[in-house]
Structure 1
Amino acid sequence: MSSQLFQETHSNINNTGARLLQYIRELRNAQLEGDDTEALQKIEQGIQKALTALHEQRYQVAVIAAMKAGKSTFLNALIGSDVLASETEACTVCRTDVKPIPPTASPCLLEYREGHSEPVAVAEGESFLIRHHFLERNHLIRATGNRDHTTRFELHHPIAAIQDLPSLQGFTLVDTPGPNEWKSAGLDSISLKQTALEALRNCDVILFILDYCSFKDNTNSELLQDLIQQRSEFLTRNRGVIYFILNKIDRQTEEDRPIAHVVDDLRRTLNEFGIPNPIIYPASAWQGLLSKLIAQGIATESHLKDFKHFFSARYAKETEDGDLMIPSPKKIAPQALQDSLIPIIEKSVVQDVVNNSGWNLLRDVLAKLDKSAKEVEDILNARISGWKIEIKPLRQRMEEYKRLAKSAIVQIRGVKKLVEQQEQKLVNQFKREIVEFAERAKLTIQQEFEIFAQYRFSELTTTSTPLQLDFPSKSTPTFAGFPVPQRLGESLKKAVRDLLGDEENPYAIRCTSQEEVEKIKQDINRFCSILIKDWWTNTQDKLSRDGTLIRQELVAQIRDNVQQISNELSQYLGEALEITMNINPIQMLVFDFQGIDTQVQRQTENYTRWKKEQKKAFCRDYEVDIQVDDRRSYYEIDLRLTMEAIKREIDAQTTGSLVVVERVIKKQVSEDFSNAEQQINDYINRFLIEFDRLLRERELREAQVDEILATLEVQKSLLHQYVDEFESIRDSLEMWKPR
């Protein structure tokens, strides 16, 4: 499905839906006021919700990279403005969502902070101004350890890559913190990692930026390994929505291998990581950005100077006399932009967005609008038939329908019991995983303390020699525990190096001052906090992904069970009124639901307020009170008591997670079931109201039957125009269904 076809289909659906909405409003206004219009009002609300989703649907493109791979420059090239700052140090300390605005609107940068519902305006106006203030805020956040608890930024700015596609106004570029930022000193690095993983869970396309000069370095390898281990199911289900961008190809020299050879080398490397047939694009983001700025006439003197210095010579032309003539940047820019390969990447990314998420949205919105039109058609058919049937048989059929409706409600309650049983299974399953996490965390921490005590005196030669520790290499614990990237001994090495110990009790650390005690307490808490929060971040990420897949299966079960009940009602109505009833499809559409991440956040906030603690789902502010024995001549920390304190803290915070997870699952399942239940209840009530309305009007307006039937036939004829248009759009959409 081409981007242009997507735009046209989007417009067709929107226009036809808007006209259908107006038709129903006019139909409702022509009726008697009161309960008679309730059914049409609900149909209107459903149409309006679908049309709103059509305009506001978010399409997220996540951009990830190791530091200095050119991620900010690449994003700037897609945006078409030098607005995101890039430096020699890591700049992306928080997630940044770039959202499009019309070219005539004023760009602005917003900052969201923990505990605040409204954002703080950082800057507004010209790109250079936003860039300056953005860089200042990143520096301050890094310098202060994020004292303001900033969670993310939001940049509202025109995005050149989609400037000709107004239907993609929900398109969002997500600049995620890379692994370099995760490990940044002075910041809550685990929160950065959590932010990045959340973006990857919800994105439509991933752009993995690699530096042409160093794509094999350790950081890229770690990031690839994490992508494979944490995202194997994503790659399996979404082949073709992850791009590997080999950036900075403009740095190729005459002595370097051809770019094609480097791409082949990268392809082999990605194959070794388990990524078959990877999509790789070489690119020069810097060349692409400068070319766009020059072509738009907004390049600064600095931009022009850089373009001339780095790129102009490549487009020099030799005169008859052998002199080299370099055209002006304005003349070179269009070709330089094409040579940067940025337009090809933009086209491919947008194509994938519209082929997958875009197509799915069009299908869902169209299905909702089509259902709404056929609901009105069923109402009109019921009215036409009701005016043709004698009043006594009509009354009998109404009573029979009431009986069936009561039976259907009982059946729905039976479905609800089955759903609640599945819900409890889910709760138990997730609780088991959380409890297992806690046990593994406690065992891993305990093993670290045991290793520290075991090796503490292994190379102690004399009592006067400073303590030298030689710990086992970094590895995963021998039992089914968690990986430990840094040993406890390495964390405490400096703190305990000059302290005396007791070989008979290696768990005791003796200090001569309160300052030494505080230093060791901080080191132990920091060590445990980082490990536990990192383990929990990975566990929470897995639970969220598993929960989404399980929820999809349960939603399908709910829909199938309720659909069967709905079909029985439709069949009776058709036979009773001697008309052809449309199937009432129980729809569980994507835009009807919030993601599990949103539910987790909401329930976490509720739990936080309930407990009146400044904690999130788990180990937000992990710290234990380490006991110190004051012997007057020295202070002693017993690591065995410390281990017990840590275990108690893990258990206490596990309780908080169990509460949040249970609430999230129950709320999610309840909403999914309520959605299906509401659809069939609306269906039942719609025809209860119609039967009642028919009987009242038959008694009052029997003499007007011919006039009423003529009016209904005209209304039905008008409605068929919309039904036919939806059918035509659906046939066209099916031709472009993603394979």
Structure 2
Amino acid sequence: MIVPAPQPNVQNLQQEAIALFKEISFLMDNAASALSTDSSSDKYKDFQQEVLSVSHNVEKLELMMAIVAPMKAGKSTIINAIAGQEILPSRNAAMTTLPTQIIFNSDLTQPTLTLSPEIISVYQQTLQALQTKIQTLGMQRIQDKIAQYPHLQDLLPKIQDPTSLQLQEITSGREEIIQVLMSLNDIVRLCNTIDPSTDPLGKLTEVPCIQVPMGRSRRLSPADTANNKPDLLGNLVIVDTPGPNEAGENLKLATVVAEQLKQSSMVLIVLDFTQLKTEAAEQVKRDVQRVIDLRGKDNLYILVNKVDQRREGDMTSEQLRQFIAAEFGIGNDDTNQVFEVSARRAFSAAHFTHELEQHPELTLSEIPAARVLAQEVFGIDWEEELAEVTSEEIRKKAQKLWNKSGFEPFLEKAVKALMERAAPKCLKSALNLGRSRLVQLRDEVKLRSSAICQDAEKLQLELYALEADLHRLELCRSRLKDVDSIKSQLHQNLHELLQVLKKEATVNLEIFFAKEEYQRADLIKKMDMRARELFLTNIGDFELFPKWVSSRLKSQVEFKTSGLFEFESPEVAEEFVDQAVTYVKQRADSLLSSVRDRTSQEIEQARQSLLDLLEQETKPIIEGACQRLNEAFNLDLSLPTMQWESFETMGFVRPPVKRQSRFVDRGNVEVLRNQRQWWHWLWIVPVEVKVQIRRPRVIEDYYTVSLNTLIAKVNQSIEGSIDNINLEIEKFLDKDFQQRVDVFFANLDTFLHNYRDNLSQAQIDQKLSLEEKEKLVEELSFLLPEATAQIQTAESYIEYTDQMLSN
């Protein structure tokens, strides 16, 4: 076999690797057939299945691309355009609250939505929480709280009927999927609006998954077909994520969202071309920065939508790149990280093509997508033109519109960037497995071929030596006391880390206010000014009232003493408590997320120390066995990273709303009375005069909330959660950590046992007839050069993937 030189192109390397895996599979099948009379046959059949599995992974390489929009910039339209049909719900109000994966599958004829049991369970829990909240607050108060989301009003009656909002694990059909996704997103938004402390997003680790057929955007152009260019878009996975601002006042980039962004090989931030220099620009800039803080700028791209609305005097493409580089620090002349598209044009073209192919029997007037396309390509005369145009003519118009949308170069560049990012890791993993199985096949064939010709006494001596190696390995495992030392040091490091966290996470009253806001509030409070007037007054460039309180509440609250707030109604007081609890919960969850990352780093360092120790202690035993057998074995030590059993979020006890009463002095009132005055006829004739009389005092109810009560409960919850983390770590170290060490030794046992079994089989081979021996040696001789050549090919490909990963 001639070793092909890898081409400096990741797509070519992918195709070469797939071809190599086919050859390895064929070789393993030959090995299983040649050795069908002994136990090795089943082993090589298993090797063949492993190779076929990794080959499938390489061929169906998942290229994960997350799309996030800090404002309503046409994100759903972009995804629908890539899919070639309306698969995601879209409306004027903010839509996305829950990340959703869209996987393109060429084997499907209609889209399918899959919801995990976890998603369905959290959904049911959220419905129950909403039902309880509605019963507690009453329908009128709930409607007032969601006044800014009119589309949620129709959802309230359905929540009262549990059977009307049931979910299934599998949903098929475009319309049905849209309805399910709308219900999911609306329930999450409703919950975070009227009961933010429930936080359904914080309980999720999995996301809905839609598999869709290949759309118009995923087909090859004629030029690509002529060049035999492979269709790699069949592996594209798009993650629709809620933007920082799109989510709403009480939603945040929850753990499940953050994980999807981190796992994606590329993140696209969608911006609206028409809004880049408006009053919303500063807010957009802050929202983009939040994604950068979470994800970094590596493989972060800007997708500018609605460029079809560019007019004379607007920014040119070059000016746009310079503007984005200056405003967001993304992209420059050397790196093409800015794409310009018109999602509306792309979707109109792709949707029409999809509908025409799905329903060729329909006339143009019967295809709704044709009307939308006609409006785009024919302008004000679209109705007349649509009535006269032929199917072929409008198909050409759709192709031109698609070309003008900017989607073709965007998809090509995006997939190229994704391939360069994701493919090398997948390829290296698959190639390592293939090489490992080839090495094992080669070494075992060499051993058996050589052993057949050896005398029986020498074979028996080697078997005794391998038995001694296995015994030494067991002794090594029993005396590895340093494992406990590594664990002890890790315990100490993590204990110190958690103690620092407790200190950092402690809440006080100042946490609820910016420092200067709190000091200014305290100063003016001492001056005996009315808090209500204070909170409505902007002083300098900041508003004195804390940012976590909605503007609707600011006119209905008085800050009486440090940490004590006063309200005129229990409804407003309860809403204030909701916002206070949500604020501290999000702060605490953020701190817990941070400490989990820092804890994982400590454990990773300890894990590496353990691997170094195991290698140091066991490698001499393995190398000794290989040396005796004239073998070369590369030991590949590996332990899994720590997996947290759960990502718990903290629950807090709500501070009570206290009802109190007080006498209210209503002041004086002016009345007219008849009195005798000296200045009017010397007291003889009464005269009507104005006099001041004091009004009777009345009893007034008012309601107070103490943040100090909340603070005490928060600190208790934080301490308890940190203690739970500590217990979780100890459980991992005591069980899983040691268990993985045992698995490592078991793998070494297997390695030595394989050598021993091959020598034992060689003893059996020696008892064969001369003709049977010659046939066996011939078959083994055929396998050896093929395995050696394929190992060289795999190693050359691995070397190239290393070069790509280092760039």
Q: Does 1:248 align with 2:301?
A: no
Find the partner of 1:576 among 607, 628, 642: 628
Change (3 A) 1:445 1:2: farther
SS in 1 for 2:246: helix
Find the partner of 1:339 among 404, 417, 423: 404
Change (3 A) 1:337 1:79: same
Once residues 22 and 629 of structure 1 are traced to their aligned partners in structure 2, the CA distance between those partners, rounded to angstroms, is 81
Find the partner of 1:304 among 370, 389, 393: 370
Tell me which residue corresponds to 1:268: 326
- The Cα of 1:487 is off from its aligned counterpart by 5.6
Tell me which residue corresponds to 1:622: 652
Tell me which residue corresponds to 1:540: 593
8 Å contact from structure 2 (residues 655, 706) kept in 1? no
Find the partner of 1:653 among 710, 721, 737: 721
SS in 2 for 1:29: coil
Q: Deviations over 1:187-234 (max 9, x none)?
A: xx23x53222111121111112121122361332123322333334xx
8 Å contact from structure 1 (residues 294, 304) kept in 2? yes
- The Cα of 1:83 is off from its aligned counterpart by 1.9
8 Å contact from structure 1 (residues 3, 350) kept in 2? no
8 Å contact from structure 1 (residues 109, 122) kept in 2? yes
Change (3 A) 1:688 1:465: closer
8 Å contact from structure 1 (residues 178, 196) kept in 2? no
8 Å contact from structure 1 (residues 559, 676) kept in 2? no
- The Cα of 1:346 is off from its aligned counterpart by 1.2
Q: Does 1:203 align with 2:207?
A: no
Tell me which residue corresponds to 1:526: 579
SS in 2 for 1:584: coil
Find the partner of 1:365 among 384, 407, 430: 430
Tell me which residue corresponds to 1:153: 208
Once residues 233 and 606 of structure 2 are traced to their aligned partners in structure 1, the CA distance between those partners, rounded to angstroms, is 31
- The Cα of 1:95 is off from its aligned counterpart by 0.7
Change (3 A) 1:714 1:111: closer
Alignment RMSD: 4.5
Give ranges in structure 2 of 5+ residues lacking alignment: 1-7, 123-166, 221-229, 358-363, 383-391, 663-698
- The Cα of 1:372 is off from its aligned counterpart by 0.8
Which runs of structure 2 are paired with 1:30-179 in the superposition (5 Å)?
A: 30-31=37-38, 43=47, 47=51, 50-51=54-55, 53-54=57-58, 58-102=62-106, 104-112=108-116, 114=118, 116=120, 120-121=168-169, 123-125=171-173, 127=174, 130-131=177-178, 134-135=181-182, 137-143=184-190, 145=192, 149=200, 151=204, 152-160=207-215, 171-179=236-244
Tell me which residue corresponds to 1:290: 348
Q: Deviations over 1:494-531 (max 9, x none)?
A: 5543x8x5xxx64555778xx63x75365235313333
- The Cα of 1:271 is off from its aligned counterpart by 2.8
SS in 2 for 1:245: strand
Once residues 731 and 703 of structure 1 are traced to their aligned partners in structure 2, the CA distance between those partners, rounded to angstroms, is 39
What code does the residue aligned with 1:407 have?
Answer: R
Tell me which residue corresponds to 2:25: 18
- The Cα of 1:286 is off from its aligned counterpart by 1.8
What code does the residue aligned with 2:757 have?
Answer: I
Once residues 636 and 336 of structure 1 are traced to their aligned partners in structure 2, the CA distance between those partners, rounded to angstroms, is 62
Once residues 730 and 472 of structure 2 are traced to their aligned partners in structure 1, the CA distance between those partners, rounded to angstroms, is 32
- Name the TM-score, length of structure 2 as normaliser: 0.71
8 Å contact from structure 2 (residues 245, 287) kept in 1? no
Tell me which residue corresponds to 2:505: 441
8 Å contact from structure 2 (residues 110, 213) kept in 1? no
- The Cα of 1:110 is off from its aligned counterpart by 3.1
SS in 2 for 1:458: helix
Bigger radius of gyration, 1 or 2? 2
Q: Deviations over 1:36-87 (max 9, x none)?
A: 7786577567546645644666432111111311211111222222222222
Change (3 A) 1:487 1:158: closer
Q: Deviations over 1:364-414 (max 9, x none)?
A: 212211211221222222222323222223322322233233334444566
- Does 430-439 or 391-400 show the bigger shift? 430-439
What code does the residue aligned with 2:242 have?
Answer: P
Once residues 65 and 584 of structure 1 are traced to their aligned partners in structure 2, the CA distance between those partners, rounded to angstroms, is 47
8 Å contact from structure 2 (residues 331, 337) kept in 1? no
Find the partner of 1:351 among 416, 423, 443: 416
- The Cα of 1:281 is off from its aligned counterpart by 1.5
- Does 281-290 or 264-273 show the bigger shift? 264-273
- The Cα of 1:25 is off from its aligned counterpart by 3.7
SS in 2 for 1:386: helix
Q: Deviations over 1:560-580 (max 9, x none)?
A: 655566654554345434x4x
Q: Does 1:193 align with 2:254?
A: yes
What code does the residue aligned with 1:540 have?
Answer: S
Change (3 A) 1:703 1:55: closer
8 Å contact from structure 2 (residues 324, 330) kept in 1? no
Q: Deviations over 1:323-350 (max 9, x none)?
A: xxxx943223323322222111211222
Once residues 755 and 345 of structure 2 are traced to their aligned partners in structure 1, the CA distance between those partners, rounded to angstroms, is 64
Once residues 441 and 494 of structure 1 are traced to their aligned partners in structure 2, the CA distance between those partners, rounded to angstroms, is 31
Once residues 63 and 743 of structure 2 are traced to their aligned partners in structure 1, the CA distance between those partners, rounded to angstroms, is 24
Change (3 A) 1:13 1:678: farther
Give ranges in structure 1 of 5+ residues lacking alignment: 317-326, 478-483, 605-615
Tell me which residue corresponds to 1:221: 285
Q: Deviations over 1:634-653 (max 9, x none)?
A: 77655544432322122223
Q: Does 1:259 align with 2:339?
A: no
What code does the residue aligned with 1:158 have?
Answer: P
Q: Does 1:643 align with 2:716?
A: no
8 Å contact from structure 1 (residues 491, 527) kept in 2? no
8 Å contact from structure 1 (residues 448, 488) kept in 2? no
8 Å contact from structure 2 (residues 321, 332) kept in 1? no
Tell me which residue corresponds to 1:681: 749
What code does the residue aligned with 2:261 have?
Answer: L
- The Cα of 1:10 is off from its aligned counterpart by 4.6
Change (3 A) 1:303 1:52: closer
Once residues 249 and 350 of structure 1 are traced to their aligned partners in structure 2, the CA distance between those partners, rounded to angstroms, is 22
What code does the residue aligned with 1:280 have?
Answer: V
Tell me which residue corresponds to 1:455: 521
- Does 560-569 or 715-724 show the bigger shift? 560-569
What code does the residue aligned with 2:210 have?
Answer: L
Q: How many residues of Structure 1 are paired with residues of Structure 2 in the alignment?
A: 675
- Name the TM-score, length of structure 1 as normaliser: 0.77
Find the partner of 1:586 among 630, 636, 643: 636
Change (3 A) 1:554 1:727: farther
Q: Deviations over 1:250-275 (max 9, x none)?
A: 11012323232222221222338999
Q: Deviations over 1:88-128 (max 9, x none)?
A: 21111211100122254321223446465897257422x45
Once residues 486 and 753 of structure 2 are traced to their aligned partners in structure 1, the CA distance between those partners, rounded to angstroms, is 28
- The Cα of 1:537 is off from its aligned counterpart by 3.3
8 Å contact from structure 1 (residues 412, 562) kept in 2? no
Once residues 615 and 531 of structure 2 are traced to their aligned partners in structure 1, the CA distance between those partners, rounded to angstroms, is 79
Which runs of structure 2 are paired with 1:231-242 in the superposition (5 Å)?
A: 231-232=295-296, 235=297, 239=298, 241-242=299-300
Change (3 A) 1:641 1:530: closer
Once residues 359 and 429 of structure 1 are traced to their aligned partners in structure 2, the CA distance between those partners, rounded to angstroms, is 35
Once residues 188 and 551 of structure 2 are traced to their aligned partners in structure 1, the CA distance between those partners, rounded to angstroms, is 28
SS in 2 for 1:61: strand
Change (3 A) 1:274 1:651: farther
8 Å contact from structure 2 (residues 553, 576) kept in 1? yes
Once residues 120 and 771 of structure 2 are traced to their aligned partners in structure 1, the CA distance between those partners, rounded to angstroms, is 63
